[in-house]
Structure 1
Amino acid sequence: MSDPAARPARWAALLSALCLLTWASVAVLGPSAAVPALGAGRVPFDLGLHPSSATVTVLLAVAVVCGGGALAAGLRALARGWRPRRFLLLAVVGAVVLTCVPPVGSADHLSYAAYGRIAALGGDPYSQPPDTFAAGTDPVVSAVRDPWRSTTSVYGPVGGLLMALSSLAGGASVRTTVWAWQLLLLLAWAVVALVARRVLAGDDRARARFHVLFTANPLLLTVGLGGAHADVLAGAAAVVALLLARGRPFWAGVALAVAVGTKAPFGAVAVGIVVAAVAARRCGAAWLARGVGGALLVLVPAHVWAGAHAYDQTRTASRYVSLATIWRPLVEAGVPRGVLLPGLVLVVALVTWLWWPVLVRGGQLQRAAGVTVLLAAGYLLGAAYELPWYDLLLWGPLALVPAPVALTGTAAARLTLLALAYVPGLVDGMSPLVEAVTLGYRREVGPWVAWAALVAVVVTGIRQRRTVEIR
């Protein structure tokens, strides 16, 4: 008798390999409209061929579409009982390769290198923008791309310290500093996989779902790890916190501090952990003290180092509106920015109310992950500023919950279409035709993709809630 999961599993592996290969090919070709130049050095390696913006745009679009197709095929195979093994080996090879070639899709890693360099040299990345540091002569800090040259760090103190650590390893070399950061992200990714393997041992179905949706998810491997984004570090730490919260609260607190101390929205994980613990009647004084102690051990010295002004740029950024969000057409139509925060709260509340009886069920780990999924999904759907790699807030917790295909499929389609909107990635280097096509898609199609995803989550949430209530 044939294995019903074999065919979609083969498609998942093939499309995932194509996704990783085409993404890595853009990186190895060298500086382009998708890959900022890193200066002299050997690793991460590239050929320095300077491909055209059209070439890299087509290759990245193929990578994203293949990644979305691989995720869809993987979900179908999981539903038919697939237990991936060689698929995980493909993900491991892909992750290592992506770490050895330049980051693709944005210039964020140059900002990380600059903020780390400023901190490593005794400056303050939370008050000194790159264009004012060392009179613009430092080889690492001056590599920052527009529009971030005059922007102070928006990342939390723990992330800032880890950026400084990467800078100490890289010295005055942009390329080496970026590679040190990439190695740190690869380590975080590996730790998640190992912790999940141990915590989920004995539940092959849960472990398979986690690997397919998170550690071996080709969209996260490329858009996240392949772009060397800080969200990879925060997302990995957040998942470790969820996995360890029940049995090892101290280390869960440490991991949570890394997540929240890198990007504040990952505080959703803390809410999920506490709510699940209270529901399970495990929120005793000793358990809570160990968790809080672990978190404070990291957060207190990091905040003392950064100072009270560490979140000044975060507050400023809260009023930004990116193109591919539900708010962009409304703001352009004259809706005041003062409604952005209340609107976000409303979306989070609506998604949480609709999906709570569906997702917040099962054991303590599943409940914690379920609450986090609700808050993360609501935040990402209702945020005024949203980029593809921000979805790392959602996918780790989602991989730990047996969520309906309607929700997981919507999240996969949304991430695929949103990632397409941010191809090739840089604000310069595009030909007029590529700029017209890519920015046209981002501006004209992106907001309606965001609206379609929100409507789909609400409609399917209503149906799922009714089903649960009938039962």
Structure 2
Amino acid sequence: MARADPATGPRRPVRWAVAGTAVCLLAWLTVAVLGPSAAAPALGPGFGALDLGRHPSSATVSVLMALSVLAGGVGLGGGALAVARGWRPRRFLLLTGVGAVLLVLVPPVGSADHLSYAAYGRIAALGGDPYSQPPDAFAGGADPVVSAVRDPWRSTTSVYGPVGGLFMALCSVVGGDSVRTTVWAWQVLLLLAWGLVAVVGHRVLPDPRRRAWFAVLSSANPLLLTVGLGGAHADVLAGAAAVLALLLAAGAPVAAGVALAVAAGTKLPYGVVAVGIVVAAVAARRLSAGWLARGVLAALVVLVPAHVWAGVHAYDQTRTASRYVSLATVWRPLVDAGLPRGLLLPGTALVVVVVAVLWWPALVRGGRLERAAGVGAVLAAGYLLGAAYELPWYDLLLWGPLALAVGAAAPAARLLVGVLVVRSTVLSLAYVPGLVDGMSPLVQAVTLGYRREVGPWVAWAALLAVVALGVRSRRSVANV
């Protein structure tokens, strides 16, 4: 295939990228600005994100969100194809940058998780313990912020790490008694983390081709912008910190250690990038005791005080959640058929090992940064494909490392990107409109029916496709 001129790029895929991303952002923003609905819980009074208070129907927001997700998949797929053919996005980054800012000016869409973050932060800021006190047991259930939590999380203690918990408490201090202002402070924090990664990535990556891959698959990824940043999920903070750790590890181990602490201390799986950083350093024969000590000590300076504050029970709810099984996963049909839940963790570990073995030769290549990211990408892909509990925004664990690795990866890795684009799109569709209440009977039947009856088989198809392509990729790499 002839290489396109980088100055102009392949026209058709570029059009898909631009048009798909624009429609994705516009449809998502429309849902958010219309006001409380089955996709966006009410935030109450206060300063911050703006909406029109129109209360659109669940059918209206479901159609708009489905349009957003499908357009985002087209935009992401078109962008990846265009970069593979030589596109170097510039004005496209302006589009996504403006979109990111606009997403923070309107309420979060797609779940009520941000209400839980506000509640846990409020409990901590008022001297309570979000790891032992569920929202419905705090202040008699009458606190103006904590009482806003939606079912089924009213009686659930925090599942987030203590570093993330401290950030939530900080946002609560800013927001005070207002749910809207507390949530908006959290949205601004996530936007700053997102922007920092984009800037550092542009500065650290010297090769325009690799910068293009990083932009299109990570910082300008329309699905991550909407489902992740537009949903104000904690995975944005953890994912941004994990990517910063990868970008800074070689030249700034102290900063990388702090970033790694924020990632793992917000959501534990994001600490997987530490494995890639160490493996890449060993492969490059750059694993010095001083470099490792600076990074580890910097991480401990953040993690130790945070865990002392949270207490030894901080991961009690995490252990409980490890037995949960969401609907759109490979394990759901098996658990429904009687598979013991005790086999879920070994089964997930097996999937991680298989995916890592098959894709390691294709993805773990290039320089130190690319190898570190490649290790993180293969482990994240295996985990997400084999996890018992998986939601669309969890994919932030994958796309950042993959975006850094794919520029140096074997050509077969681009087929993997295509499969993962389809998987992310279809998985996101399964969680439209997002809340467990407020849906009409028809919308509930459609969305839950899709999630239960279609989602698991899509998950199986994605896993089998990744395994089959991995076998083919391993053979082709071995024959080179």
What is the TM-score of this pair, normalised by structure 1?
Answer: 0.99
Tell me the distance in 2 between the aligned counterparts of 1:281 and 1:314: 36
- 1:326-370: CA deviations, max 9, x gaps? 000000001110110110110000001111111111111011000
Tell me the distance in 1 between the aligned counterparts of 2:46 and 2:27: 23
Are residue 84 (structure 1) and residue 89 (structure 2) matched? yes
Aligned partner of 2:393 in structure 1 is 389
Aligned partner of 1:409 in structure 2 is 418
Aligned partner of 1:165 in structure 2 is 170
Number of aligned residues: 470
Deviation at 1:470? 1.0
Q: Given residue 460 of structure 2, which amino acid in structure 1 is its aligned partner?
A: W
Gaps spanning 5+ residues in structure 2: where? none
Corresponding residue to 1:18 among 20, 23, 27: 23
- 1:57-87: CA deviations, max 9, x gaps? 0000000000000011111111221010110
**SS class of match (1:308):** coil
Aligned partner of 2:273 in structure 1 is 269
Deviation at 1:10? 2.3
Tell me the distance in 2 between the aligned counterparts of 1:393 and 1:158: 17
Tell me the distance in 2 between the aligned counterparts of 1:429 and 1:464: 46
Q: Given residue 69 of structure 1, which amino acid in structure 2 is its aligned partner?
A: V
Are residue 439 (structure 1) and residue 448 (structure 2) matched? yes
State whether residues 72 and 223 of structure 2, in contact with CA within 8 Å, keep that contact through their aligned partners in structure 1. Answer: yes
Corresponding residue to 1:197 among 202, 218, 234: 202
Corresponding residue to 1:375 among 376, 379, 389: 379
Tell me the distance in 2 between the aligned counterparts of 1:443 and 1:10: 34
Tell me the distance in 1 between the aligned counterparts of 2:48 and 2:306: 30
User: Superposition pairs for residues 412-427 of structure 1, below 5 Å?
Assistant: 412-427=421-436
Corresponding residue to 1:5 among 6, 10, 16: 10
Tell me the distance in 2 between the aligned counterparts of 1:458 and 1:7: 30
**SS class of match (2:266):** coil
Deviation at 1:7? 2.7
Q: Given residue 256 of structure 1, which amino acid in structure 2 is its aligned partner?
A: L
State whether residues 88 and 208 of structure 2, in contact with CA within 8 Å, keep that contact through their aligned partners in structure 1. Answer: yes
Q: Given residue 393 of structure 1, which amino acid in structure 2 is its aligned partner?
A: L
Aligned partner of 2:458 in structure 1 is 449
Tell me the distance in 2 between the aligned counterparts of 1:290 and 1:5: 45
Deviation at 1:4? 4.9
**SS class of match (1:310):** coil
State whether residues 190 and 236 of structure 2, in contact with CA within 8 Å, keep that contact through their aligned partners in structure 1. Answer: yes
**SS class of match (2:434):** coil
Aligned partner of 1:122 in structure 2 is 127
Tell me the distance in 2 between the aligned counterparts of 1:146 and 1:114: 13
Q: Given residue 359 of structure 1, which amino acid in structure 2 is its aligned partner?
A: L
Tell me the distance in 1 between the aligned counterparts of 2:414 and 2:361: 16
**SS class of match (1:106):** coil
Q: Given residue 318 of structure 2, which amino acid in structure 1 is its aligned partner?
A: T
Deviation at 1:11? 2.2
Deviation at 1:263? 0.2
**SS class of match (1:398):** helix
Aligned partner of 1:134 in structure 2 is 139
Q: Given residue 320 of structure 1, which amino acid in structure 2 is its aligned partner?
A: Y
Aligned partner of 1:460 in structure 2 is 469
Deviation at 1:42? 4.3
Aligned partner of 2:233 in structure 1 is 229
- 1:221-246: CA deviations, max 9, x gaps? 00000000000000000000000001
Q: Given residue 220 of structure 1, which amino acid in structure 2 is its aligned partner?
A: L
What is the TM-score of this pair, normalised by structure 2?
Answer: 0.97
User: Superposition pairs for residues 42-441 of structure 1, below 5 Å?
Assistant: 42-200=47-205, 202-402=206-406, 403=409, 404-441=413-450
Aligned partner of 1:39 in structure 2 is 44
**SS class of match (1:126):** coil
RMSD over aligned Cα atoms: 0.9
Deviation at 1:43? 2.0
In terms of mean alpha carbon deviation, does 204-213 or 397-406 score higher? 397-406
Deviation at 1:281? 1.1
Distance 1:4 1:244, change over 3 A: closer
- 1:307-330: CA deviations, max 9, x gaps? 000000000000000000000000
- 1:143-186: CA deviations, max 9, x gaps? 00000000000000000000000000000000000000000000
Tell me the distance in 2 between the aligned counterparts of 1:352 and 1:155: 27
Tell me the distance in 1 between the aligned counterparts of 2:271 and 2:239: 11
State whether residues 9 and 88 of structure 2, in contact with CA within 8 Å, keep that contact through their aligned partners in structure 1. Answer: no
- 1:91-145: CA deviations, max 9, x gaps? 1110000001000000000000000000000000000000000001100000000
Tell me the distance in 2 between the aligned counterparts of 1:393 and 1:75: 18
**SS class of match (1:324):** coil
Tell me the distance in 2 between the aligned counterparts of 1:401 and 1:333: 38
Q: Given residue 270 of structure 2, which amino acid in structure 1 is its aligned partner?
A: F
